[in-house]
Amino acid sequence: MSQTPTRADFDHYMVPNYAPQKAVPVRGEGSRLWDQEGREYIDFAGGIAVNGLGHCHPVLVEALTAQANRLWHLSNVYTNEPALKLARSLVERTFADKVYLCSSGGEANEAALKLARRWAHDHHGEHKHRIVSFSQSFHGRTFFTVSVGGQPKYSQGFGPVPGGIVHGQYNDLDSVRNLIDDDTCAVMVEPMQGEGGIIPADPAFLQGLRDLCDAFDALLIFDEVQTGAGRTGSLYAYQQYGVTPDILTSAKSLGGGFPVGAMLTTDRVAPAMAIGTHGSTYGGNPLASAVALAAVEFIDTPEVLEGVKRRHDLFREHLEAINRQHGVFREIRGMGLLIGAEMAPEYEGRAKDILPLALEEGLMALIAGPNVLRMAPSLVIPEADIAEGMARLERAVARLVAGQ
């Protein structure tokens, strides 16, 4: 087809489950993008925390193109060198002994939940199947993961949800004490809620979950799909909290933009996922594994991780300056380069109104629910791009305040 696609083609040809912005990006480099008209944008969205090294990072491009000239796909009937290298790298850098590779965060969380139930079944019997999760949590879009996630809007209208799932209140350990029992197989939690509003966990809360899981012989699952692979300033957020889960899930920045996911676990738990219990056609794909390995090795360095912490301070300083001028934010929070600015009461629910204004000013950003402006840029975004992006954000906020 020689015809250039347009935004109108989305409405004509695509299932209407998304409502993309008007601009159609066609090229990216670092933390900048260009649309079909050649207009430039600074990217504070990062593909929803996916483009951990920005767009077309040379290290990832080299890994992808080198592997593309060797081997693309085999299926899980065979293993391959990039998958084995990636698994070993993740094991050596984390608490884990074993890795399961897949294609997305939703798949990784699905595998984690199935593993937890299978482990409990094998060790305790069918009664031990209950899962404790949290209100406003988000764990993916498969039917199991949206049911475990604490946002009913994502599972409504699809029929009966899987049973045995209960939801506590995030950062409220007493609410979990009232739910967990001998029939609980797992507690699933995000170290920082992403879609739920960029809310970091209290350290005592996560330690309390660890203690409760130990007391009831349940597994602690950390969903680090959004917080992992350097996003918070360590390779994984659990390392900053000093609380070790039994299962951890990773995706998004793990592949730097190439679809990949991973579930990490221990030798105590992994045997429950025996031959034939679970699988993924594209899991461990050589292309994805090669890119993810390059991303992990580049990100897990003092230069990058310390840079994330420094850039966090810059983002916070700029957002606080905007707020002093316009008074639109009630609170600025987050860890590393996953940052949320909650709207002030007089702008309740209007975070989404900033996005089209920001786009017109040449900035891409996100929301985390209707009341939180979210930023998840490249972990190596140049400081000059932060300053220019914030100048564009300030203009968009000024327009919001002026009622434009």
Q: What's the number of CA atoms in the CB half-sphere (13 Å) around residue 396?
A: 24
225 is in an annotated binding site: yes
At residue 364, φ and ψ (nearest 5 deg) are -105, 125
CA 103 to chain centre: 13
pLDDT of 123 > 70? The answer is yes
What's the confidence (pLDDT) of residue 184?
Answer: 98
Residue 290, φ and ψ in degrees, nearest 5: -65, -40
pTM: 0.96
Query: Is 138 among the catalytic positions?
Result: yes
User: Is 202 annotated as ligand-binding?
Assistant: no
**CB environment 178-202: b (16+ within 10 A), e (fewer):** ebbeebbbbbbbbbbbbbbbbbbbe
404 against 235, higher pLDDT: 235
In Å, how far from its chain's centre is CA 352? 20
Question: Which range is least confidently modeled, 47-51, 160-164, 324-328?
Answer: 160-164
Q: Is 226 known to sit in a ligand binding site?
A: yes
Position 404 scores a pLDDT of: 56
Q: Which of 365, 340, 362 is nearest to 352 (CA)?
A: 365
Establish whether 43 is an annotated binding residue: no
Is the per-residue pLDDT at 1 higher than 70?
A: no
Cα–Cα nearest to 108, from 220, 237, 261 = 261
Residue 63 pLDDT greater than 90, yes or no: yes
Please compute Rg for the chain using Cα positions: 21
Better-scored residue on pLDDT, 156 or 190: 190
Helical spans, DSSP H, in 100-149:
105-124, 143-148
CATH number attached to the domain at 7-57+302-402 = 3.90.1150.10
pLDDT at 152: 87
329 is catalytic: no
Strand spans (E) along 106-260: 130-134, 165-168, 184-189, 192-193, 199-200, 219-223, 247-250
When pLDDT is averaged across residues 14-40 and rounded to a whole number, the result is 95
Alpha-carbon distance values, 1 to 4, 6, 10, 36, 38 (Å): 8, 13, 16, 17, 21
Q: Contact 209/168 with Cβ under 8 angstroms? A: no
Residue 308 above 80 pLDDT? yes
pLDDT at 154: 86
Mean pLDDT of the chain: 96
The annotation status of 277 as a binding-site residue, yes or no, is no
Considering 134, 144, 246, 252, which one is annotated as catalytic? 252
Give the mean pLDDT of 82-106: 98
Average pLDDT over residues 297-322: 98
Mean pLDDT of 5-22: 92
Q: In the CATH hierarchy, which top-level class contains the domain 71-299?
A: alpha beta
**More confident: 219 or 76:** 219
Would you state the pLDDT for residue 306? 97
43, 128, 134, 138: the active-site residue:
138
Q: Which residue has the tokens 């390059």?
A: 294
User: Catalytic residue among 43, 223, 246, 300, which?
Assistant: 223
Q: How many whole angstroms separate alpha carbon 353 and alpha carbon 343? A: 11
Both structure tokens of 247: 């299962």
162 or 100, higher pLDDT = 100
* Per-residue pLDDT, 159: 86
Sheet holding 366-367, edge to edge: 329-335, 338-343, 372-375, 366-367
**Predicted local confidence at residue 180, as pLDDT:** 98
Mean pLDDT value across residues 188-209? 97
Count CA atoms within 13 Å of residue 50 on its CB side: 15
- Nearest Cα residue to 195 out of 369, 334, 75: 369
For residue 138, say whether it is annotated as part of any ligand binding site: yes
Q: Please give the C-alpha separations between residue 383 and each of 264, 387, 388, in angstroms, as whole numbers.
A: 33, 6, 9
Give the C-alpha distances (Å, rounded to integers) separating 113 from 116, 119, 129, 201, 302: 5, 10, 10, 21, 33
As a whole number, mean pLDDT of residues 139-162 equals 90
**2 pLDDT higher than 80:** no
- Is the confidence at residue 334, as pLDDT, over 70? yes
Distance of CA 378 to the CA centre of its chain: 13
Would you state the pLDDT for residue 156? 86
Query: Is residue 258 annotated as part of the catalytic site, yes or no?
Result: no
Parse the chain into domains and list their residue ranges.
Answer: 7-57+302-402, 71-299
φ, ψ dihedrals at 391, nearest 5°: -65, -40
Residues composing the chain: 404
Q: Does residue 376 have a pLDDT over 90?
A: yes
